[in-house]
Amino acid sequence: MKLRNLLAGIACLTIAPLCAQQKPVYLDETKPIEERVEDALQRLTLEEKIKLIHAQSKFSSPGVPRLGIPEVWTTDGPHGVRPEVLWDEWNQAGWTNDSCVAFPALTCLAATWNPDMALLYGKSIGEEARYREKDMLLGPGVNIYRTPLNGRNFEYMGEDPYLASRMVVPYIKGVQSNGVATCVKHYALNNHEINRHNTNVVIDDRALYEIYLPAFKAAVQEGGTWAIMGSYNLYKGIHNCQNPYLLNDILKGEWGYDGVVVSDWGGTHNTDQAITGGLDLEFGTWVDAYDNYFMAQPYLQRIREGKAGTKELDDKARRVLRLIFRTSMSPKHTFGSMNSTEHYEAALRIGEEGIVLLKNKGGLLPIDLSATRKIAVIGENAVKMMTVGGGSSSLKVQREVSPLEGIRNRVGDKAEVVYARGYVGDVSGGQDGVSTGQDLKDTRTPEELIAEAVQVAKDADYVIFVGGLNKSWGQDCEDMDRAGLELPYAQDRLIQALAEANPRLVVVNVSGNAVAMPWVEQVPAIVQAWFLGSEAGNALAAILTGDVNPSGKLPFTFPAKLEDVPAHSLGDYVSERRKDTVNVEYKEGIFVGYRWTDKQKKVKPLFPFGHGLSYTTFEYGNPMADSKSMTSDGTLTIRVNVKNTGNREGQETVQLYISDKKSALPRPIKELKGFRKVRLAPGEEKEVQFTIDREALSYFNDQRHAWIADPGKFEAIIASSAEDVKGKVAFDLLEAPASSQVPY
């Protein structure tokens, strides 16, 4: 028996006399959870209810020892289970058995465009969390990619609310199948990191409901997440961890959420607002003692003085009890597993399927090892560990295969693999007491490093440059945004020099964000590799050598320049640190990512949303609809045939966009409303079907506060990316009977 279960058993001895007479309902695992919750609630003292709703350590909250109700233990995610930390510090506790498997960053998961991969991801990381006896995984993140400068974009699922919604639901189900709660974050409007504690987002209701809330709504109503984490920023002038509009009106009211609202660490600011604003479980408040948290003694004192009632307290305690009965006190939770072969295989599969082939002029890739004598690998990111750093997603891993190591392992003795540093970026290798153990110090000048790289590259059959960003301060990292779109550490100069030295150049960009590519025309092959976790090098090597046919698609637009991003061109992004409250108006409204690019027409992205190449080719047939019209209470099926016309097996993601040709309010040119990933052998052809309903045709009318589908003409657009349209089919939406016109 594990220690925690043993301690819980000892605690239960305190109620043994009662158990001998009649088993309390809250301890009866056969009873419905709501009965157990109500039974336990009526047994709690006022003081026990207060203790239940705030932290007792950096990552745990107390249970009720008197009743045998266990503590709640949380752990950072969403890419792996964080190492154990000291009771009241961020630094690790020095355990030797808390290393984990690092899974690819969520941008990579989104790039798979495959809900099956999301389910596998959630199941695997949930097993690791369960084995470590964690009740709640602090993730996944589903905030929308609004600007490529956001330091935390790598933790999210891209720019499109539909894609994020479809990917988050199976992730949640996978994690929670282990009896571990997901804590979906950061609710809401957390779209940049700089000034995150004092940014007040000014946004119209239409953009809020159409762009920034759908993934959270899907997490609640379809995924059934047991916890939601509030964000640091403000909305309507109120911090979001205690925001009644977001938490009470929308989350718990409109969506019927019955789970726990958890504060981000340091996200609670006021006792009275926390009481009435919808917060249930307070973590990380920066005070001298846990009893001084806003929802601790100050709350208790207000009740005792008659300044606050107990209605809100009972609701908060009820939700925390529900969480406990769903997790540690559920008969369905598993024992889990850690660092298993299956988890490494899952990390590898997700990484392979998420890597995006952006460009492959002349078919330079895959590497032909039968005709290759020498491969030159250049760049710091070819050797730098990426699992440590980045903020709260930093991990301590059992192993991490670097790109250089992965390439060398795959190539073996078939060719010589040589390495040159090329540039020096961040030579540090630690966070919160976790160290990579790497010594990356190099005192050579940029000129010397470039000269060496060019010399090594000149006579190589392939030059593989592995660069991009890292998870250091000011790059892909929590609490700070990037300074600009360009690559850091003078990498652009290095890439230009390599392109001049050898035309057989492959650029591998490791990042969770889009980057500028002033050398894009000079480089024949470009690969977007993301932060790939423990199996990074093996996943990348499999793609480069053709062991795996690339099938990833971009979950966000790569702009050609920062001015092509409306958050920057419209001037509503604040880049400098401020101490006062900063109003940031989302002037672009619903026109985010490809929606903005389509609207501008003359603005061409560097690489569009949904883009990704393959080593084979696909041919699309003409899309067909099963009817020329549908009613708003009916459905319509769109069919299209897709054929593999190449000579190797591959996967293609067929994308369905909907275009409203005439609506009462302005709408995007098209919006993603469906996608299917199909695997095809050479010469194989399959029919792909999409069934759409009124929801796929609707927009949010903020004046009526309702989702509306205006009768009229629509188009279903079949595409391979937001820019690569394969075919269109027109249809009409007809007026349905009045009884069917209830906004969903």
Tell me the C-alpha to C-alpha distance, in Å, between residue 556 and each of 113, 162, 507, 514. 12, 12, 19, 8
CA distance 175 to 224: 11
Cβ neighbours for 368, distance < 8 A, ≥ 6 positions apart: none
Whether 710 is catalytic is no
Yes or no: say if 426 and 472 are a contact pair by the CB < 8 Å rule: yes
CA distance 470 to 438: 15
CA 567 to chain centre: 20
DSSP-assigned letter for residue 293: S
CA distance 292 to 314: 20
Yes or no: say if 97 and 77 are a contact pair by the CB < 8 Å rule: no
Find tokens 């988890």 and name the residue: 343
Cβ neighbours for 739, distance < 8 A, ≥ 6 positions apart: none
DSSP string for residues in 303-354: HHTTSS-SHHHHHHHHHHHHHHHHTTT-TT-----SS-HHHHHHHHHHHHHH
DSSP-assigned letter for residue 228: E
Cβ neighbours for 693, distance < 8 A, ≥ 6 positions apart: 634, 635, 636
Find tokens 């909250």 and name the residue: 61
Instruction: Go through the chain and tell me how many residues it has.
Output: 744
Q: Residue 631, exposed/middle/buried by CB under 10 A (0-12, 13-18, 19+)? A: middle
Tell me the C-alpha to C-alpha distance, in Å, between residue 377 and each of 399, 407, 420, 486. 21, 9, 7, 22
Selecting among 264, 280, 432, 564, the annotated active-site residue is 264
Give the amino acid at 134.
K
CA distance 554 to 594: 11
Structure tokens at 525: 């092959």
Cβ neighbours for 447, distance < 8 A, ≥ 6 positions apart: none
Where b means 16+ CB within 10 Å and e means fewer, 200-223 reads bbbbeebbbbbbbbbbbbbbbeeb
- At CA 541, angle to CA 536 and CA 542, rounded to 5? 100
CA distance 236 to 248: 14
Catalytic positions are 264
